[in-house]
Structure 1
Amino acid sequence: MIERLWYGLRDSLRLWLAPERMRAEGTTPDYRFSLANERTFLAWVRTALALVAGGLAVDQFLTGMRPAPRTAIAVVLLAGGALCAVRAVNHWLRTERAMRRGEDLPLSRFPVLLALGTAVTALAVVAGVVLGELGR
């Protein structure tokens, strides 16, 4: 099982670094589907950038909050942005490969995890702001 996982990861990384290899995967889909997949990729990258910007904003502008929780929230947002960017590439690759092979599109739990993580982080920021205001 570990060997299969390793080879799958290795093959995916090869496609990340040499996308021309994708042409060996099945047949070329209608270009409109590939372009839609690319737009989805760009939306995930924008989401990643927004998470990074949110992490920087929490660190720089919520100065009324204690340093430890402020730093923790900022790090969670920054790590979420990095994870979201990596996930964007992986999802684009898996979707493009599935389209070329005529397979079902890949399913992912990531959107749910991202939404829940964002909600929990937002509630932590609200709590920090409220408690910061009450502590003044």
Structure 2
Amino acid sequence: MAVVESRFPARLFRVGDEPDPRFSLANERTFLAWIRAALALIAAGVALEALGLALHPGFRTAASILLVVAGLLTPLQAWLGWYATEKALRRTRPLPPALLALPTAVLVVVAGLLVFLGILYR
């Protein structure tokens, strides 16, 4: 029992049975991929504004804000997705969908459209 208590979150590791380690490690790699995406989105938002590209300033600022917001939502998806997937693996249930993937994708598409408009109306 000491092994379970030392793992975070302990409440999750009390559920079900230990899955094949390969599945848990794949789940962890997916978590880390979401974190890398979050860093890239935040960096893109900051760079877009900091570099002062020759874009319409309103469109550039709006796109920057959307990219940073998407970058702030992405770690939430990483954690919730990791947790739900690990829980499903431990209970041998179907894997859950990525809840915030669509809203994040929409934010990125809208940010891209704003950059496009910023180029057209500079």
Q: TM-score normalised to the size of structure 2?
A: 0.84
More helix by share: 1
Q: CA deviation at 1:112?
A: 2.9
Q: Which residue of 1 aligns with 2:46?
A: 56
Secondary structure in structure 2 of the residue aligned to 1:21: helix
CA contact (8 A) 1:73 1:125 kept: yes
Deviations 1:18-66 (A, max 9, x none): 4133221111100000000000001111111110001001111234334
Pairwise CA RMSD? 1.6
Q: Percent sequence identity over matched residues?
A: 41
Question: Counterparts in 2 of 1:64-103, with a 5 A limit?
Answer: 64-103=54-93
Deviations 1:42-95 (A, max 9, x none): 111111111000100111123433443322221111111010111111110010
Q: Which runs of 5+ in 1 are unaligned?
A: 1-17
Equivalent residue in structure 1 for 2:13, among 1, 4, 23: 23
Q: CA separation in 2, counterparts of 1:67 and 1:131?
A: 10
Q: Which runs of 5+ in 2 are unaligned?
A: 1-7
Q: CA separation in 2, counterparts of 1:98 and 1:130?
A: 47
Q: CA separation in 1, counterparts of 2:71 and 2:47?
A: 13
Q: CA separation in 2, counterparts of 1:103 and 1:19?
A: 19
User: Aligned pairs, how many?
Assistant: 115
